[in-house]
A and B are shown apart, each in its own frame.
Chain A
Amino acid sequence: MMQVARWLIGLTLIAIAVLQVFYWVFANSAEPIVLGLPFGMFFVSSLIGIEFFALLALYFFDQSGDDKK
């Protein structure tokens, strides 16, 4: 169960990386301006935010997995 969760989060992180590398496919635009940022910059920053929470979850599952061992 923990192992599955870790894999899922790992895949999420890879997906985030792919989205960042090819950000121009999805968000190569100045409009709309969201939270004061042009759309491209907002997109890049939001992905960083999601990455942070994904890492937090990964750490959580990782530690509870270790404790069981």
Chain B
Amino acid sequence: MNEEYLVLGVIALYFVSVFGVGALASRGQQATREEYVAGNRSLGLVVMYFLMGGAVFSAFAFLGGPGWAYSKGAASFYILAYSALGILPWWLWAPRTWMAGKKFGYVTQAQLIRGRFNSRLLSVMVAIVTILAFVQYVTVQMKASGYILELASNGLIPFWAGSLIAYIVVVLYVFLGGLRSVAWTNVFQGAFMIITAWVLGLYFVYALYDGPADMFQRIAEEVPSHLLIGPGSSMGYGEYSSIMIISILGFTMWPHLFMKAYAARSPKTLKQMIVIYPTFSIFLVPVLFIGFAGVLQVSPIELGDVDRILPWMFTNAGFHPLAIGLVLAAALAAAMSTQDTVTHAAGSVFVEDIVKASSRKHDSENPESAAHDRTLIRLAVVLFGFASYMIAIVGGQTLVSLLVGAYGSIVQIFPLIAATFFWRRATAAGATAGFIVGTIIYYGMVFGFVPGFYDLHPGLVGLVINIVIIFVVSILTKPMDCAHVSQFINILEHDESSINSNRNHR
């Protein structure tokens, strides 16, 4: 009994620290939407790195990663590869998005799309699809924190209460400090997770085997198909490749990541962040070790749910309660550092792109309405949190399949962003038609109204059709005003002086 209190004590201490960091970061902020949503466009390299990294180092990686390494083996390599490659398209979007934000005062992704295509309908649709995907995403993280606290307390804290406690902490600091609190808590949580992951991954490999080479040698001998993909393994070739493509193209389309481009100090900071970002994937290698180490230790039937492999491993390793507390706190950090940024983005998108888009008269530059915006976003944060919590305590899929599911709808935004900056001829009608059809096909396949296409990811099938339709419909409709479109296509050619004068003008 005492042991559980020790474990819970460590976790409680962790909660207090995270909340403390979040609350500290919220001090002395201006009460504006640009501050609350985009940190006043002033974040530096280190904060940006952890802000974006916290999203990859989510419960998906920390619990889902070992779960995949354990149950699907080689298929889990995709987690390493996509998290390093997914950031690449940002080299193209991020500096342009930053400029557009500075020039037109945007703070969300849908505002950019609305600006380029002059279409309120399109941006509202993007915002709705976004929020649906966010709910799935946050649900994944909530389930993880529920498992963790249930385990830490040996069942004393039931699943529903565990998810709730962790989420209340998140909503509290997001409520208080907006993006700045999200960013600084992510720095703290990110560093904590990385250290724990390495210590733990290497510990298991050396405690249970004679190092990684011995471990993989034995897996290769005893379960040969585990380190392969393709027929006879847990994942087909087409499935692996299409999930990779969807994840690489979709990664920066996630609106909570995309909108971080507005928060950086300068385009240079964004580029530096992209350069060092692949290091996060290397940090994930020992996370997979944890799952591989479990392959020869416990059968999936005995384990029940594959996402419980990490907790199973250390509860059976005879760790000291303090160590168990630290590991569980790190796993919570993974879940919470994703929850906070998604919840923050969901609140912002809901207010900026849905509520405000429906009221024509709105002056964001007026200090009074800027403060009013912040209040609205705070309210939306709490509402979104409550709604996704209700969904989390009902659902039942594994962590990764939930997330891969959400990617399929988000990747449909890809052609819109590409066209925003790179294809002059794209029209609002084309973009709208492509997005609607792509999204419907994707959801249709997921829910079984539309037949699947071999073992390809439904999101990829939707994406291909989406691109074809944007192309055909745009060509058939009247081109958009050239001067208007040039503002986006040639955005990097506008020099600093024009931006400054534009800003003063506002």
Contacts and interface: CB of A to CB of B under 8 A. Distances in A.
Contacts of B288: 41
A36 B216 contact: yes
Q: What is the size category of the interface that chain B forms with chain A?
A: 35 or more
Contact of A30 (B211, B228, B237, B285): B228
B81 A36 contact: no
A23 B77 contact: yes
Contacts of A21: 241, 244-245, 248
B81 A47 contact: yes
A55 B277 CA distance: 10
A63 B272 CA distance: 10
B74 A40 contact: yes
B93 to A, nearest CB: 15
A36 B212 contact: yes
B467 to A, nearest CB: 17
Nearest to B77: A44
Contact of A38 (B216, B245, B248, B281): B216
B230 A20 contact: no
A44 B281 CA distance: 10
A33 B80 contact: no
A28 B275 CA distance: 28
B68 interface: no
Contacts of B217: 33
A29 B213 CA distance: 14
A17 B237 contact: no
Interface in A23-69: 23-24, 28-31, 33, 36-38, 40-41, 44-45, 47-49, 51-52, 55-56, 58-59, 62-63
B128 interface: no
A41 B281 CA distance: 12
Nearest to A16: B85
Interface string B269-301: 001101110110110010010000000000000
A31 B241 CA distance: 22
A37 B288 CA distance: 11
B117 interface: no
B390 interface: no
B59 interface: no
A38 B278 contact: no
B224 interface: yes
A38 B84 contact: no
A55 B91 CA distance: 10
B227 interface: yes
A23 B77 CA distance: 10
A40 B248 contact: no
Interface string B390-427: 00000000000000000000000000000000000000
Given A17-B85, A30-B224, A37 B229 contact: no
Interface string B312-325: 00000000000000
Contacts of A20: 81-82, 85, 244
Contacts of B227: 29-30, 38, 40-41
Contacts of A52: 84, 275-276, 278-279
A10 B228 CA distance: 30
B472 interface: no
A22 B238 CA distance: 9
B31 interface: no
B213 A59 contact: no
A47 B268 CA distance: 25
A17 B88 contact: yes
A27 to B, nearest CB: 9
A56 B80 contact: no
Contacts of A28: 74, 228-230
Given A33-B213, A33-B217, A48-B84, 6 more contacts: A20-B82, A28-B228, A41-B74, A45-B282, A48-B281, A52-B276
30 contacts: A17-B85, A17-B88, A17-B248, A20-B81, A20-B85, A21-B244, A21-B245, A23-B77, A24-B229, A24-B240, A28-B74, A29-B227, A29-B228, A30-B227, A33-B216, A36-B212, A37-B216, A38-B219, A41-B80, A41-B216, A41-B285, A45-B282, A48-B84, A48-B281, A48-B282, A49-B282, A52-B278, A59-B271, A59-B272, A59-B275
- Top 3 nearest A-B pairs (CB, nearest first) are A36-B212, A30-B227, A30-B220
